[in-house]
Amino acid sequence: MKKILIIGGAGYIGTVLTDHLLNAGNHVRSLDLFLYKNNHCVLPYLGREGYESMYGDLCDPEVMLRALDGITDVVLLAGLVGDPITKKYPEASHTINDVGIRNSIDQLNGIGLDHLVFVSTCSNYGLIEGDQLADENFELKPLSLYAKSKVATEQYILGLNGNVDYTPTVLRFATAFGLSTRMRFDLTVSEFTRELALGRELLVYDANTWRPYCHVRDFGRLIDLVFKAPAEKIAFEVFNAGGEVNNYTKQGIVDAILEQLPNAQVKYKEHGVDPRNYRVDFRKVKKILDFEPSNTISDAVNDLKLAFKIQHLSTIKEDPLFKLDNVLLTPHNAALTLECRKRMAVETCENIAYYLTNSDRLNKNNIINKKLLKLI
């Protein structure tokens, strides 16, 4: 059994990857700083066999030492993710995305590790004129601080060839989409679908710009394929992670959404703030790892549309109460404490025992289906 450390395991991709790797029979340890207050995103996995959640900072060598104990494989997802936040906090970005990640990589040698999967980005290609497809050898022209950090880390890892005892692989992820316990609505498919599903008018800038996309579930499957591949096929290799089927323009994304939300309102405007425009060649990952995405944009739009319909993804800001100036809302965190979880487990077991023995001690106040159980 593999024992896999996901650094950034409570994030948008990390939570879905956790589920995939657990279902495949692996032991998963998630290390996350919960920088985005996303600790609730690991709740579905707490208590599952083979799962550990660890709070900590990858920039702390002692934390990394504990996190790596007994680990066979590492997936490095963590960092300040995306262009806006790295632009807003350049010093923090340098500390985490450059120094912290590089130092954590330095701790991997000599501990008996099998694989390192470093998650990079197709944003490294920047702006590509014309109809060229960017393969893994295409010139890298990162436009953002985020992408520049990814390129620098890629080069650092590839420069370790012959000096480390594990097998590193770089995956340049396409733009992610799909449902996750830790949703992100700063990404094109999720953002566009949310706005239109909630009945808002969507303003789309530069509708004809290209970008590759890939479902978060497919990313999980791809990383699993990397772990199972022979070392000679993946050692110090770079793969574009995605599939030709999901190279889309923004207009193509809008069209896919309008097929399911035909009455939605969309406006267009040129010359937005994001100049990136690139299509990506995914033949290498298909040839070597036999990987092709199995989830489409339309699949994700349908999932998101249904989730909004049942208010599964409705945020507190959508609630009318949030618009009042005389309402104070506080989170209910007590149930997250270890003491409370133990107490709930004990009371649940007691109630089952009392029900089976027809005991008068049965706490009927904690039972929802009283009629079904013939308690009323």
Going from N- to C-terminal start, the domains of the chain cover 3-183+213-247+276-295, 334-366
Distances (CA, A) of 346 to 291, 354, 355: 46, 12, 14
Percent of the chain residues past pLDDT 70, beyond the cut: 89
* Cα–Cα dist 240/282, whole Å: 6
Q: Is the pLDDT of residue 182 over 60?
A: yes
How far is residue 273's CA from residue 364's CA, in Å, rounded to a whole number?
59
What does the pLDDT read at residue 35?
Answer: 86
Mean pLDDT for the chain?
A: 89
How far apart are the C-alpha atoms of 10 and 321, rounded to whole Å? 29
pLDDT, mean of residues 179-195: 93
In the structure encoding, which two tokens stand for residue 60, read together?
Answer: 């702390």
Q: What's the pLDDT score for residue 277?
A: 85
Backbone angles phi, psi at 136, to 5 degrees: -65, -20
Mean of pLDDT values over 47-55: 94
Q: What pLDDT sits at residue 316?
A: 47
**pTM given for the model:** 0.82
CA distances from 145 to 79, 124, 142, 290, 292 (A): 12, 10, 8, 32, 30
Q: What's the whole-number mean pLDDT along residues 108-114?
A: 96
CA dihedral 221, 222, 228, 230 (to 10 degrees): 160
pLDDT score of 39: 87
Determine the Cα–Cα distance for residues 223 and 229; give it in Å rounded to an integer.
10
Q: Measured between alpha carbons, how far is 184 from 190 in angstroms, rounded to an integer? A: 7
pLDDT at 80 over 90: no
Average pLDDT over residues 327-348: 72
Domain 3-183+213-247+276-295 carries which CATH code?
Answer: 3.40.50.720
pLDDT at 107 over 80: yes
**Mean pLDDT to the nearest integer, 97-125:** 96
Burial status of residue 24 (CB atoms within 10 A of its CB: 0-12, 13-18, 19 or more): middle
Cα–Cα distance for residue pair 91/252, rounded to 1 Å: 36
Tens-place pLDDT, residues 300-337: 999 999 888 876 565 545 566 666 777 776 666 666 67
Residues constituting the chain? 376
b/e map 189-223, b = 16+ CB within 10 Å: bbebbbbbbeeeebebebbebbbbbbbbbbbbbbb
Give the gyration radius of the chain's Cα atoms. 23
Q: How far apart are CA 147 and CA 289, in angstroms?
A: 25
369 DSSP assignment: -
d(CA 12, CA 178): 9
Helix H or strand E encompassing 241? strand 237-241
* H runs (alpha helix) in 8-144: 12-23, 61-67, 83-88, 90-93, 101-106
Of 265, 299, 249, 297, the closest CA to residue 196 belongs to 265
Higher-confidence residue: 275 or 201?
A: 201
- The structure tokens listed for 115 are 């694989």
274 has a pLDDT exceeding 90: no
What's the whole-number mean pLDDT along residues 64-70? Answer: 97
Higher pLDDT, 350 or 245: 245
129: its two tokens? 């004129």
For 58-62, 100-104, 315-319, 370-374, which range has the lowest pLDDT when averaged over its residues?
315-319
pLDDT in tens, 280-303: 999 999 999 999 999 999 999 999
